[in-house]
């Protein structure tokens, strides 16, 4: 009887703690969702970028050429199969090199690849894709950012790239 009483008290405390944690989570989510972010000045020039996913990988899609950056100087058409220069957008994705090269679909995912990617045990890579146009939809969301934000994004990306001894972008051809 004594153990039953202690077990019930323990279960009661556990239940109350779980309720408090869930309540705190919901309250925090409610409060934080009401805080607005900095709004862009409507007169400030914007750059339209996109977040694109294929269900396995997520890419950041930017204009191939803009006032601030011509990505074709880094990501050359000559390194693509078609060498088609009519693209208007560049998609970049960061992640585990093995995951990109060995997992085109979820069916191709192995435990070894997932484990290495999850715990940053493999090498990282940036993959690039050229697009002629972007259409918003379930897997593609538009984001308008300021020129200053785009400039910061460009700097971050350029610092993330690796160059060979000739000063050219290090390429992994698949």
> At a CB cut-off of 8 Å and minimum separation 6, what does 151 contact?
68
pLDDT, tens only, 21-58:
888 888 887 787 777 655 556 667 899 999 999 887 89
The pTM of the whole model exceeds 0.85: no
Spatial CB neighbours of 57, under 8 Å, sequence gap ≥ 6 = 93, 95, 100, 127
- How far is it, in rounded angstroms, from Cα 147 to Cα 111? 41
Cα–Cα distance between 33 and 48 in angstroms, integer?
Answer: 24
pLDDT of residue 44: 79
């Amino acid at each position: 009887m004594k153990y039953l009483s202690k077990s019930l008290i323990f279960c009661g405390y556990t239940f109350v703690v779980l309720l408090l944690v869930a309540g705190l989570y919901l309250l925090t989510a409610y409060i934080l969702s009401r805080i607005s972010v900095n709004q862009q000045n409507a007169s400030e020039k914007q750059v339209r970028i996109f977040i694109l996913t294929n269900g396995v990988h997520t890419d950041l899609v930017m204009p191939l050429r803009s006032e601030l950056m011509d990505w074709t100087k880094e990501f050359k058409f000559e390194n693509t199969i078609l060498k088609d220069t009519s693209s208007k957008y560049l998609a970049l994705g960061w992640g585990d090199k093995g995951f990109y090269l060995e997992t085109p679909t979820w069916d191709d995912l192995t435990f070894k690849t997932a484990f290495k990617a999850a715990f940053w045990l493999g090498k990282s890579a940036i993959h690039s894709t050229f697009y002629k146009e972007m259409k918003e939809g379930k897997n593609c969301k538009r984001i308008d950012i300021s020129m200053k934000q785009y400039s910061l994004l460009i700097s971050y990306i350029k610092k993330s790239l690796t160059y060979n001894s000739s000063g050219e972008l290090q390429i992994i051809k698949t």
